[in-house]
Structure 1
Amino acid sequence: MRILGILAAMAISGAAMAEPGRWQRAWPDTDFSNTSISDWSEIMSGGPPKDGIPAIDAPRMIPAAAETRLDATEPVMVWPAPEGPARAYPIRYLLWHEIVNDAAGGVPVAVTYCPLCNSGMIFDRRIEGRELSFGVSGMLRASDMVMYDRQTESWWQQAIGTAIVGEMTGAELELLPAWMDSWERFRAAHPDGVVMDEPDWSRDYGRNPYVSYDSSRRPFLYSGEMPPHGVPALMRVVRVGDRAWPFSRLREAGQVTEAGVTISWEAGQASALDAGRVGQGRDVGNVRVRDAQGRDVPHDVLFAFAFHAFWPQGEWMLGG
């Protein structure tokens, strides 16, 4: 957790300068007069500067059968790309890059992962026919990554896929059906699939820089309300729309059908935010979300505190 302590000290310093007048020097092309934010103190520096966490563009993809570096239970983001094989994006790379700008079957996507919220989602990068590409701003709001688009330098809240500052304020990215799965499950389900190759950056890929984070009592750089109903702040929940199902319930039940979806849980996926090596994390399980016709449903698996922060009136699906 030493890295989190260093970042916290940097963020406290950044929070003292949480106002557009000071940000304008680093963001001269961002229209701070156009925003949905009423209290600028909600936004703080997470430590790294703009692009200090480098997004990946047009990643190399290799056949899943040729990949030998990943452990069987390592988590990967899975996108069933149109007109082509399914694509996997290892969390071991997203821990260090957080955004991957990719495209397949004529669909440009932003593969995103915020380690502090465990929020992994894949968005269509087009807004009314305009294709955007995304980078990491270095800012956080409610501990969640603030992305920016390179075309207008507007800021986007990753958890909700919505622009919150700049020309694009109010625009919403389309969340695509995608899910986090273990590497061995992906290979078994998609023997002809492809996987993102290791990026050409000097990073210790496979190492977790957030050791023991998801067993902490409180989230990092978060001062908002804790979740209700006694749900632990860093428990994973499945979010579909404005509803959340705690993993504790899903693990016990194995499968839950309600509110128009069927959510299944199966053991065999390592937490990326637990042990020193991503593939050695404790088993948190695999989740799939489908509708009544068996089609995959857009969803997110994030920590309970983040769901409460961005959906304070959301419905907690606790069962019983």
Structure 2
Amino acid sequence: MFKRIILGLGLAMAMSTASADPSFWKFEWPKTDFEKTSVSNWLEILSGGPPKDGIPALSDPEFINASSETRIDGAEPVITVDFNGDVRAYPVRYLTWHEIVNDTVGGIPVAVTFCPLCNSGITFDRRIPQGTLSFGVSGKLRNSDMIMYDRETESWWQQAIGEAIVGDLQGVKLSQLSSWMESWDQYRARHPNGLVMAEPNFPRQYGRNPYVSYDSSTKPFLYNGEMPPHGIPALARVVRVGDRAWPLTRLAELGEVAEEGVTLTWSAGQASALDAAQIGKGRDVGTVRVRGAKGQDLPHDVMFAFAFHAFWPQVRWMLGE
């Protein structure tokens, strides 16, 4: 099942002892200052298999009109970004193989990211007080979550929390921006003349899922942390808003939940990107929108429960009790 994961598992297990010492990584990352770090246990950081830039991030991709796109199945997920009237869709069929897209939307430098192993799709503002960054894929994982790096200082960034964990920028946080994952049909129904990222010029099997049945597994890949509480399966999807998580099953049952100043809605029609061999044939996991008191879209993430628990272990689960 998913050859890349199996290959990475063998490599990571062989390297786990060496990677407990940060000096091991210095050969690959001579420009990274490992003395500046929030990582207390280096055993948490493992190779996912591919080396630095082995998963090639994209920068300033080309876009085409949605009405011209014929390759994407209607149920396939896309990440929708809408800033200052500039609306764009980033198909997960491409993000699965590239994981980061550096772009500018509505005048805002953004990083659109997707970590398949955590199902985490987050859009960040690339601007920090020190300047504007561009991001690549390090090939490292922590709690099964992608570690990004910035090309300017080669600091390491934890994708799930948007924070630098190693290097000169350690402790700096990126601002998460509002975006959401929805089906291609849902996007183009609202924006028939909107923009969609064009297929990248790489030899990849776009549209194929290299992680077949992953979100039906009982244990995450390369994760040795605690399992979620309340009997929630490790790879169940939850909707994270800040440091709170709503189980997707609860939203799917009710259709809408409004509490603590947040309204979450669920609608059918979006395929899981981590189920069937062809992404568009995956089971229906639905689309979530998250809005604030004034109806504005709020930053959020639909991620696996184990990843939420790993990075936010001491918070409330919104179970409706």
Alignment TM class, shorter chain as reference: over 0.9
What residue in structure 2 maps to residue 285 of structure 1? 286
Between the aligned partners of 2:241 and 2:180, the Cα distance in structure 1 is: 12
The one-letter amino acid of 1:273's match is L
What residue in structure 2 maps to residue 162 of structure 1? 163
Q: Deviations over 1:27-59 (max 9, x none)?
A: 000000001111111111111100000001111
Question: RMSD in angstroms over aligned alpha carbons?
Answer: 0.9
Between the aligned partners of 2:15 and 2:107, the Cα distance in structure 1 is: 40
| Residue 27 in structure 1 maps to residue 29 in structure 2 | yes
What residue in structure 2 maps to residue 62 of structure 1? 64
The one-letter amino acid of 2:231's match is G
Between the aligned partners of 1:22 and 1:223, the Cα distance in structure 2 is: 21
Per-residue deviation at 1:15? 1.5
Between the aligned partners of 1:116 and 1:251, the Cα distance in structure 2 is: 22
Per-residue deviation at 1:2? 4.2
Identity %: 64
What residue in structure 2 maps to residue 238 of structure 1? 239
- Asked if 1 retains the 8 angstrom alpha-carbon contact of 2:272 and 2:283, the reply is yes
Between the aligned partners of 1:104 and 1:304, the Cα distance in structure 2 is: 30
Per-residue deviation at 1:193? 1.2
Task: List aligned pairs for 1:174-189, cutoff 5 A.
Answer: 174-189=175-190
Between the aligned partners of 1:30 and 1:165, the Cα distance in structure 2 is: 8
Distance verdict in 2 for CA 1:81–1:27, change over 3 Å: same
| Residue 50 in structure 1 maps to residue 52 in structure 2 | yes
Task: List aligned pairs for 1:61-80, cutoff 5 A.
Answer: 61-80=63-82
Q: Could you say what secondary structure the match of 1:6 adopts?
A: helix
Instruction: Give the TM-score normalised by structure 1.
Output: 0.98
Between the aligned partners of 1:201 and 1:71, the Cα distance in structure 2 is: 20
Between the aligned partners of 1:99 and 1:127, the Cα distance in structure 2 is: 18
Between the aligned partners of 1:168 and 1:178, the Cα distance in structure 2 is: 25
- The number of residues matched between the two structures is 319
Q: Deviations over 1:234-282 (max 9, x none)?
A: 0000000110000110111100000210000011000000000000000
Between the aligned partners of 2:213 and 2:106, the Cα distance in structure 1 is: 38
Between the aligned partners of 1:112 and 1:71, the Cα distance in structure 2 is: 21
Between the aligned partners of 1:2 and 1:311, the Cα distance in structure 2 is: 28
Per-residue deviation at 1:20? 1.8
Instruction: Give the TM-score normalised by structure 2.
Output: 0.98
Q: Could you say what secondary structure the match of 1:51 adopts?
A: coil
Instruction: Note the residue ranges of structure 1 that are not aligned, 5 or more in a row.
Output: none
Per-residue deviation at 1:83? 4.2
Q: Deviations over 1:201-254 (max 9, x none)?
A: 000000000000000011111000000000010000000011000011011110
The one-letter amino acid of 2:7's match is I
Per-residue deviation at 1:64? 0.8
Instruction: Note the residue ranges of structure 2 that are not aligned, 5 or more in a row.
Output: none
The one-letter amino acid of 2:39's match is I
The one-letter amino acid of 1:227's match is P
- Asked if 1 retains the 8 angstrom alpha-carbon contact of 2:2 and 2:212, the reply is no
